[in-house]
Amino acid sequence: MRKIAILASALGIFAGLGGASHGPGEILQGNVVPTELMIQAWPSLTASGGEPAMTIIPSYLITGVLTIIFGVLLAVWAGKFIQHKSGGLILILLSIVMLLVGGGLVPPLFGFAAGVIGVLLNYQTTRMEVLVHGKIRNPF
């Protein structure tokens, strides 16, 4: 595995686990409807402003469960499939979903960055590829 792929995997795993860590705080708030799009995943944490997140799901309980699921899924995908042909693109999509289901505001940014690096991993071409094949391959 190349160093840049290791960087993308590490960023993705960090993003997934960081996003999933918002889930238990949301679950502990119970089956309550959030009043706004922006929520506090851990409202009792005052040092970080209660772990800000956003959700389009109308229940803290369901938001927390989905956050854990998509966070772990993002971490596993980043660790296992980042070098897959569509690995980076799927990582970007998982990061967007994690953002929308309460995975915090910062972890999805790391996941998005890891996805962009993953796309670039598969898009890199050498001069020899262009000379031999006569075209640049499609990154998707």
97-111, pLDDT tens digit by residue? Answer: 999 999 999 999 999
pTM: 0.84
* 3-class secondary structure per residue, 34-77: CCCCEEECCCCCCCCCCCEEEECCCCHHHHHHHHHHHHHHHHHH
80 or 49: which leads in pLDDT: 80
Per-residue pLDDT, 139? 53
Residue 122 belongs to a domain: yes
Residue 75 belongs to a domain: yes
Residue 138 belongs to a domain: no
Per-residue pLDDT, 127? 44
116-130, pLDDT tens digit by residue? Answer: 999 888 776 444 455
Containing structural domain, residue 7: 3-133
Domain count across the chain:
1
pLDDT at 26 over 80: yes
